[in-house]
Amino acid sequence: MTRRKAGTRAPNGAGSFYPGADGRWHGRITVGVRDDGRPDRRHMTGRSEKEVRKKARDIEKARDDGHLQKPGQGWTVEQWLAHWVENIAAPTVRPSTLAGYRFAVYKHLTPAIGAHRLDRLEPEHLEKVYVRMLEAGRAPATAHQAHRTVRTALNVAVRRGHLHQNPAVIAKPPRLAEWEVDPLTLDEVRRLLDTAGRHRNRARWAVALALGLRQGEALGLQWTDVDLDASRMVIRRSLQRPKWVHDCGGLCGRRAGNCPQRRNVHAVAAETKTRAGRRVIGLPAPLVELLCKHRVEQENERATAGQLWRDGGWIFTSQTGETIHFRTDNKHWKDLLREAGVRDVRLHDARHTAATVLLLLGVPERVVMSLMGWSHSSMAARYQHLTAAIRADVAERVGGLLWATSETTTETTADHNGDEDGH
């Protein structure tokens, strides 16, 4: 963009700057081509020619940096979030993820900031949303979910040229309390396995405690995923929680989950969410033996059930071959804890136990990440303080045994000699 003398015609493609009848200076520059093939020509005004030319230079710089917003009517936050969640996210994410996105968009984000122009949304607008959510009694995790959702949606807006930068990246989300890893002790694990041995599907709990599979991964296992001769298992899918809808047209007057004609619109299982989740795991010999026995027991159940058996190839099933519901699985876990006399812990703590054991055995962090299906090394870091404390306790016990104080050694020797004299 070059300055020209007054009264001369601007060359093709150059900007034009002129005083208007309204007493202000005006400028028009071409910065590209619109989607319909017409020139993308921008208009700016100012109190002086210098001010207008500076605006023109800023627009050209934004174009050269790839940050120039597209022409036309700007999006509102409500319009963009609705477009993103229904037309961009919906065809590409899992149903459970989409449900979380929709809840955050329509329940929290749109009512609070939907009227804002997308290109005028500020980090402070988002931070006020999070504060109001917390003041209304929402959990910090819920506010954090809303933050992650809007950050993901606005990242797409930036990539498509609707935003210069993502305000959600700058906004400070609510602080989440760090969860404490609370693994089971070796004695507790043994008691659980001994108790589970008296019940059907006992291999289910051996898989949880020895391999650390997520609940959905364990319940989504099929016999085609296991090679018992090679002692290996492939994790490739996860059981999904059902999403019930009315199949009676809503005439029953109940919630969809209690409708006599309810219908599940979710697939029974879906591929693991991340590439790290798809993994191959080696099986310990005792677990291979247990799975072999489990397969024989399942064949006996199939014969007993007869025509009632619903064959889906699942490893862990009901007595008629159907998948085990998450709620039922959790109930069986709680029953197992009470019967074994083990403290009340979450089923997910069995996964923590398996991870802790691997780290204590000195298995390299990258290998542990692969076995556990972790995408980020930060997950392993959460266990470091725990494994360090256990190692320190072991070292202290060994030191107390091998390097007892001389006073303790003398007393022990004297007691021993006294016993010999008594004999």
- Work out the angle at residue 93's Cα, subtended by the Cα atoms of residues 89 and 95, and round it to the nearest 5 degrees: 110
Q: Say how far apart CA 344 and CA 356 lie, in whole Å.
A: 19
* Stronger pLDDT, 9 or 118, i.e. the higher one: 118
Taking 60 as the threshold, does the pLDDT of residue 410 lie above it? no
Report domain extents, the chain.
16-63, 77-170, 366-400
Of the pLDDT bands very low, low, confident and very high (cuts 50, 70, 90), residue 8 is very low
Stretch 5-11: mean pLDDT, rounded? Answer: 46
Global confidence as pTM: 0.63
State residue 202's pLDDT score: 92
State residue 6's pLDDT score: 45
Q: What is the mean pLDDT of the chain?
A: 84
State residue 144's pLDDT score: 93
* Stronger pLDDT, 136 or 384, i.e. the higher one: 136
SS3 226: strand
Taking 90 as the threshold, does the pLDDT of residue 81 lie above it? yes
Pairing of strands 25-33, 39-46: antiparallel
Taking 60 as the threshold, does the pLDDT of residue 58 lie above it? yes
Which residues, including other chains, have CB under 8 Å from residue 161's CB and lie 6 or more apart?
A: 66, 67, 68, 69, 70
Taking 80 as the threshold, does the pLDDT of residue 93 lie above it? yes
* Stronger pLDDT, 329 or 248, i.e. the higher one: 329
State residue 143's pLDDT score: 94
Domain range 77-170, CATH architecture: Orthogonal Bundle (1.10)
Stretch 388-399: mean pLDDT, rounded? Answer: 64
418: DSSP letter:
H
Single out the residue of 108, 95, 96 nearest to residue 135, CA to CA. 108
Least confident of 56-70, 107-121, 291-305: 56-70
Q: What is the pLDDT of residues 149-166, one digit of tens each?
A: 999 999 999 998 888 899
